[in-house]
A and B are shown apart, each in its own frame.
Chain A
Amino acid sequence: MLWLALRFASLPLEVYARAVRASDPLAVVSSTGTQAEIVACNDCARRRGVKQGMPPAAASALASDLQVVPRDVAAESAALERIAAWAIQFTPAVSIAPPGEVLLEIAGSLAIFGGLKRLWREVSEGLRALGYAATIACAPTPLAAQWFARAGSSVRLRNSDALRAGLAELPIEVMQPSPDALGLLQNIGARTLSDYLALPRDGMARRLGQALLDDVDRALGRLPDPRPFFTPPTFFKASQPLPAPAQEAEMLLFAARRLLVELCGYLSATASGAQRLTFSFSHHGREPTRVTLSLVSATRDADHLTNVLRERLERTALPCPATDIALESELLLPLASRNLSLLPDAGQDEEAAAQLIERLRARLGDEAVLGLKRFADHRPEYAWRPCQPGNKDTSTGLVAGRPLWLLAQPRSLGEDAAAPCYDGRLTLLAGPERIEAGWWDGHDITRDYFVASNPNEALLWIYRERDPGGRWFLHGFFA
């Protein structure tokens, strides 16, 4: 067994600060009864002298532009769950240890991810993209990993001897004993775990209770320490409060990007892809604005989703600044992982094409990006149809002598001494090809088609109506 503990020491701050760049001072205040104190603040605020445990009034005196927000415990535990859902891509055994830790059992994942070093890097880079600062520690037991993470030491211990030696150096505070027990231990001069381990066990059990002793035994692996494993929800929904109302696309995108990274971690954990995403931007005193992205095919590529959203946000302006972004994925489809291949293959092209179509449609609209297909009809204007790009062209008949450009509406031609004119008198080169069809649906035509050229040498496809008027029309260009 090998456990990775992720400790999020500044989670109270990050549930707010994830959505903002770190240039404004921000502090989170927790109030117990009548007393309020600052539980976390960002670097900017810390530079101005704001400290943990300070009353908010004192902090505001130090930094006048300090934003003070109340602690949101529900958002913190929701954030931990989302981190756990994201982390399932690394191992199926993920456990949440409230209030601020997530544990990953990674012994079985090392071979797949190419060793502890690489897995470590992927986890820490992933957490950075999500916008969380974490202390990561690795140890053979979950509790020991938690303790190392709490002590801020990013150790990578693989065996129990190293574990024993490493634990001995930790301060006793990492065990989080009760204030009474902590006071007693400090009074008898026990500063580190090695001091604590040197004390007689029966006396400790009598004075401090069995619980602390058991904790140490769990950390050392002498007692079993089963952890409940986290099961991901079947539906993805996450939201992100914005610390200040925002309306510009770039600001919104910065926050939305983090939600998308989370979504994609969840999707790869559940081996699925999202085909429809709904963002809702909440406003003060208004109905939320909903932006739905419908994709050509299910995906879990965060970069691609961000690009699609960017095009969409640049096109749709919000009616007023948003205070909160929520992301829901409505249509989750199973999406098998693609095997990596040495040479580019057709599957990659398909994926690139689907992404291109989505990007184009997000900006230009659905109707501006089309495919074409043939349709079995003798009438030239009914012999083709627009369709979804990539749709199979099922018609097989080939007709020769058709122009590459067809006019949307046949253009009436003037006549000069019974010869049709288009920039001069036309010379008929081939024809006639008689097309007479469509009596069954009311759009019947009876025409004689000719290939003609004008004095400028343009090749045209023209026809003459076979009714008494016998008028000439231009229908296409042999471009």
Chain B
Amino acid sequence: MGLEAVLNHPAVWRGNECARVAFAVPTGFAELDAQLPGGGWPTGAITEIYAERAGVGEMKLTVTAAARLTQEGRWLSVIAPPHVPYAPALASHGIRLERLLLIQPGSVEDNLWAAEQALRASCCGAVLLWQDHINERALRRLQLAAESASTSLFLFRSARVAPASPAALRLHVSRVQGRTIVRILKRRGGGLPAPITLDLHGTPVSRVRRPAAPRVREPLLTALF
């Protein structure tokens, strides 16, 4: 067996590259895929996404991968989202709505329980969970559950980054000058690349017609005569 064959073996990891992971779901963003082990979101593991504030593109990052999974017939569980995910927008991103499960438990305990159930069920391709405060023990439980059925867990948390976590991938998302900046805080295989700039929302059409102050509409009949 030549040296090249040994080095190319999937079980061999070389310190200067990011780890090769057998299974990953492409994120849909080539710049991001290039920096992620396996070329996408890790399956059977936790991905933590810290959004600097709501509305910086944290959800949009995951939507392409989620759409791909639902089109393969897997289910997508959305647990305790801050607002109702808007069905027409999800559909226009390619998500099959009949494969979506919206779960709104009332308490932290129930959120974690529901996430664990969804992860352990073999039907779910991805679980999206919004949960800010979560202790390390609960996180490890979720990690084990994700491993048991090779499901991806996306955990959305607010900007305060917890010091340590068993997550396989941790990202910080912010927006500067209309562009989304993704910083990788932790990935399998180590090494932290430079922040990645993504144009998530496309360049909005800058041609805005400033609305005139609304006129009082005249009754239709007078307009006709």
B56 interface residue per 8 A CB criterion = yes
B71 interface residue per 8 A CB criterion = no
Are B98 and A476 in contact (CB-based, < 8 A)? Answer: no
Chain B residues within 8 Å of A356, by CB? 75, 101, 117-118, 121, 123-124
A261 to B145, CA, bound (A): 27
A364 to B118, CA, bound (A): 13
Indicate whether A359 sits within 8 Å of B117 (C-beta atoms), given known contacts A393-B97, A428-B208, A479-B54: yes
A450 to B207, CA, bound (A): 11
Are A372 and B102 in contact (CB-based, < 8 A)? Answer: yes
A374 to B89, CA, bound (A): 10
Chain B residues within 8 Å of A392, by CB? 98
Are A360 and B97 in contact (CB-based, < 8 A)? Answer: no
Are B82 and A405 in contact (CB-based, < 8 A)? Answer: yes
A450 to B208, CA, bound (A): 9
Give the contact-size bracket for chain A.
35 or more
A52 to B51, CA, bound (A): 73
Are A404 and B60 in contact (CB-based, < 8 A)? Answer: yes
Chain A residues within 8 Å of B114, by CB? 360, 364
Indicate whether A364 sits within 8 Å of B103 (C-beta atoms), given known contacts A372-B90, A393-B91, A478-B55: yes
Between B118, B123, B216, the greatest number of chain A beta carbons within 10 A of the residue's beta carbon is seen for: B123
Indicate whether A398 sits within 8 Å of B55 (C-beta atoms), given known contacts A404-B63, A479-B60: no
B136 interface residue per 8 A CB criterion = no
A400 to B102, CA, bound (A): 22
Main secondary structure of the interface of A (DSSP, over half): mixed
A82 interface residue per 8 A CB criterion = no
A448 to B174, CA, bound (A): 28
Q: In chain A between 391 and 445, which residues have their CB closer than 8 angstroms to a CB of chain B?
A: 391-393, 395, 398-400, 402-408, 428-432
Interchain nearest-CB distance for A111 vs B (Å): 32
Partner of B73, one of A346, A402, A458, A478: A346
- Supply 27 A–B pairs (Cβ within 8 Å), ascending by A: A344-B122, A349-B75, A353-B124, A356-B117, A356-B121, A364-B114, A368-B104, A368-B105, A369-B103, A373-B87, A374-B91, A390-B98, A398-B91, A399-B92, A402-B92, A403-B89, A404-B85, A404-B89, A430-B205, A457-B56, A457-B177, A458-B55, A467-B214, A468-B214, A476-B86, A477-B55, A479-B60
Q: Which residues of A contact B (CB under 8 A)?
A: 344, 346, 348-350, 352-353, 355-357, 359-360, 363-364, 368-374, 380, 383-386, 389-393, 395, 398-400, 402-408, 428-432, 448, 450-451, 453, 456-460, 464-468, 470, 476-479
* In the A-B complex, the 4 residue pairs with the closest CB atoms: A384-B87, A458-B55, A457-B175, A479-B59
Given contacts A398-B92, A406-B83, 16 further A-B contacts (CB under 8 A): A353-B101, A353-B123, A370-B104, A371-B102, A372-B97, A380-B88, A385-B87, A389-B100, A389-B102, A393-B97, A395-B91, A404-B85, A404-B86, A404-B90, A405-B83, A464-B211
